[in-house]
Amino acid sequence: MVSGIFPPLSVRLREGTREAHRRAESAPFMRELFSGRLPLAAYRVFLVQLYSIYSALETGAELLQPETSLRTFYLPALFRCTALERDLGFFFGDESWRKIMPLPATQAYVRRIETVAREWHLGLLAHHYTRYLGDLSGGQVVKRIVAKMYSLDSDEGLAFYNFPQIPDYTAFKDEYRARLDALPIDEVMARRIVAEANLAFELNRQVFTEMMEYLSPPSSRGIRV
């Protein structure tokens, strides 16, 4: 089915979040990660945040199943929780990560995902798009940086970046965009979804901002000047 809106939703999402993407991409935390200087302790805490976010997203995604119009977005090949559990186990060496409280910004992000999952399934799609299409895009560059930064010589510790059930990421993303474009939505709904995706980018940026605390030396942590 063709939604009939023009430009199609996938184009609106890409163009409508370009600025938010640029802001998230240039967040100081992302810069540290990209420069290969992120301390391992900070990366471990970052994985804990991701686990919280994907747990909410994937619990919510289960709800997409019975929704007739959205069932094409029930895509377990994208699910990241099991992969994150493997990486967390690898980097922590035990299950202690399960006791770490997510940052306030992560908790706020999770609350928003839970709200849209309950009240507005199309809104959940905006969060789905923002994380998973990002993981299949820039995430692949991050994988190489993380491997080099922490001297990982096998795929151990990198499960988060690998989607073994997806043979061709570019083809998968094209298909995902076609699914977005086939949604029977009107102009008003398209705008609401793009607005929610912008919020999703912003919530990610706020997590990055709070993660910066873990980049300061342990001795100065918690000291407010």
What does the binding site for ligand HEM look like in residue numbers (CB under 6 A)?
Answer: 13-14, 21, 24-25, 30, 34, 129-131, 133-134, 137-138, 141, 173, 201, 204
Shorter beta-carbon distance to ligand HEM: residue 73 or 201: 201
Which of the 8 DSSP states describes residue 156? T
Q: Which CB sits closer to ligand HEM, 35 or 82?
A: 35
Answer yes or no: are the C-beta atoms of 140 and 129 closer than 8 Å: no
Helices 40-64, 121-128: inter-axial angle, 10-degree rounding: 150
- Residue 136 beta carbon to ligand HEM: minimum distance, rounded to whole angstroms: 8
Q: CA 81: distance to chain centroid?
A: 11
| Whole-number Å distance between alpha carbons of 24 and 203 | 9
Helix (H, G, I), strand (E, B) or coil at 97: helix
Alpha helices in the chain (DSSP H): 9-16, 18-25, 28-34, 40-64, 81-92, 104-119, 121-128, 134-135, 139-149, 169-181, 187-211
Shortest separation between residue 178's beta carbon and ligand HEM, angstroms: 12
Classify the C-alpha dihedral 156-77-203-32 as positive or negative.
Answer: positive
Instruction: Please report the beta strands in 104-194, taking only residues with DSSP state E, as ranges in sequence order.
Output: none
The distance of closest approach from Cβ of residue 99 to ligand HEM in the complex, given in angstroms and rounded to an integer, is 26
98 versus 170: smaller Cβ distance to ligand HEM: 170
Q: Looking at beta carbons only, is 89 or 137 nearer to ligand HEM?
A: 137
Nearer to ligand HEM, 39 or 138 (CB): 138
Report the nearest approach of ligand HEM to the CB of residue 135 (Å).
8
First-to-last alpha carbon distance for the chain, in angstroms, is: 58
Q: How far is the CB of 52 from ligand HEM (least distance, A)?
A: 14
Contacts of 165 (CB under 8 A, 6+ apart): 76, 77
Cβ–Cβ under 8 Å, residues 9 and 193: yes
| CB 137, min distance to ligand HEM, A | 3
Give the CB-nearest residue to ligand HEM.
138
The residue (of 37 and 221) whose beta carbon lies closer to ligand HEM is: 37
